[in-house]
Amino acid sequence: MTVFNFSAGPAVLPEPVLRKAQSELLNYRGSHQSVLELSHRSALFEAILDDATSLVRELLEVPLDYDVLFLQGGATLQFSMLPLNLATTHRVDFIDTGGWSQKAIADAAPYASTRIIASSRDDHYRSIPAGPFTSDADYLHVTWNNTLEGTTFQEAPRVNVPLVADFSSSILSEPIDVNAFDVIYAGAQKNLGAAGMTLVIIKKSLVEQTPSALGSYLRYDVHAKHHSLYNTPPTYSIYLTKLVLEWIKQEGGLQTITARNRAQAASLYDALDHSNLFSNQVAHTDRSLMNIPFSTGQQALDDAFIAYAERHGLVNLQGHRSVGGMRASLYNAMPTTGVEALLSVLRKFEQGER
Ligand code: PMP
């Protein structure tokens, strides 16, 4: 049976990437060493890191005045590193769009006074607050794609302070106007590869502001100066990201990927909007392409659907506990056949099949 994995992360990876990783596992490019065994100071690994960096720059059109860093600690460490490095007057503003914004706010609080300048809490986080936004803090933080609630910003808020965005669940799903941001960060385990690595794209002028009274690992300037090789980086995770980036390029780049993502998400939203049983409650203009929550409105029926889908090879469709119901994550590596299989299972369940 073909299994389609709708997990929010760690998530489905492109099959060609997994096959390539398998073929290179034992003997990387004739070195008779596994990628897992390569020294991070070896020429072979440095080439992997260079390729990953230049592919990020190429695919996302990152301007030269930004550094591209590969760090550890997940997106979660960025919740602390950002205020530690950038909150020079100890004031950080947030747009609160749900569970991951809340976590970012809670982690900034020990280092800075945090202010929520807009929130969609009253709307149960089913939409993105409308601008215009004003901020005079050290930076404004937004969660671009809300993995739990299935919402996404469509446009970068225009503010006169540095704009920092958590792109964990939508990086490389669509082109980004990098110039509109000062920091973009994303954990790897959704669209970039395997857990263990966090991509940080940061404006060089901000890197230069790092206060010196910080432990070395916490300093952006240390990582930038050493090109992500200050200490042992997550070598295998960086290698997998390099393979994922090569796959995106081979697929035709972000244009092809975006068109596929849009078509897949549109077909699922359309099915949900026309269903008499299932629905998605997110404001139409703010719907995520990557994470699509839906429900029957009855927990017992939702549970029955999740079990039914699993028997048909569609796994990890349960929604996050804070939202309930189901959630289909349609990351870049989800094949269109997976979405078609989901549509068919939705239809049959609605027709009464169990
Ligand atoms: N931000 C967002 C939007 C996320 O979806 C996640 C993980 N699901 C995180 C942050 C936390 O990432 P990590 O587990 O890599 O720390």
Indicate if 252-350 has the same CATH topology as 15-250: no
Nearest CA to ligand 1 atom 9: 75
Position in ligand 1 atom list of the atom nearest CA 195: 15
Contact status, residue 204 vs residue 23, Cβ threshold 8 Å: no
pLDDT at 41 over 90: yes
Mutation test residue for ligand 1: of 70, 71, 72, 76, the one with most atoms within 8 Å of CB: 76
Q: What is the pLDDT of residue 143?
A: 99
The pLDDT assigned to 268 comes to 98
pLDDT at 234 over 90: yes
Over 90: is that where the pLDDT of 243 sits?
A: yes
- Each residue's pLDDT tens digit, 293-321: 999 999 999 999 999 999 999 999 999 98
The CATH number fitting domain 252-350, selected from 3.20.20.70, 3.90.1150.10, 2.60.120.10, 3.30.420.40: 3.90.1150.10
166 is in an annotated binding site: yes
Q: Rounded distance, CA 68 to CA 233, Å?
A: 14
- Residue-wise pLDDT tens digits, 192-219: 999 999 999 999 999 999 998 999 999 9
Average pLDDT of the chain? 97
pLDDT at residue 302 in the model: 98
Which residues make Cβ contacts (< 8 Å) with residue 253, sequence separation at least 6? Answer: 59
Percentage of residues of the chain with pLDDT beyond 70: 100
Task: Using the mean position of ligand 1's atoms as its centre, give its distance from the Cα of residue 9 in Å.
Answer: 9
Domain 15-250 has CATH 3.40.640.10: yes
* Angle between helical axes of 235-251 and 253-273 (0-180°, round to 10): 80
Res. 1 pLDDT band, cuts 50 70 90: confident
pLDDT in tens, 334-349: 999 999 999 999 999 9
Q: Which two tokens stand for residue 33?
A: 């060493």
For ligand 1, residues with CB inside 6 Å are 9, 74-76, 100, 143, 147, 166, 168-169, 187
Please tell me the distance from the alpha carbon of residue 133 to that of residue 286, in angstroms, as a whole number.
17
Quote the pLDDT of residue 28. Answer: 97
Percent of the chain with pLDDT over 90: 98
Q: Ligand 1 centroid vs 143 CA: distance in angstroms? A: 10
For the chain, the structural domain boundaries read 15-250, 252-350
Q: What is the DSSP letter of 86?
A: H
User: Which pLDDT belongs to residue 135?
Assistant: 98
Say how many Å lie between the CA of residue 353 and the centre of ligand 1: 36
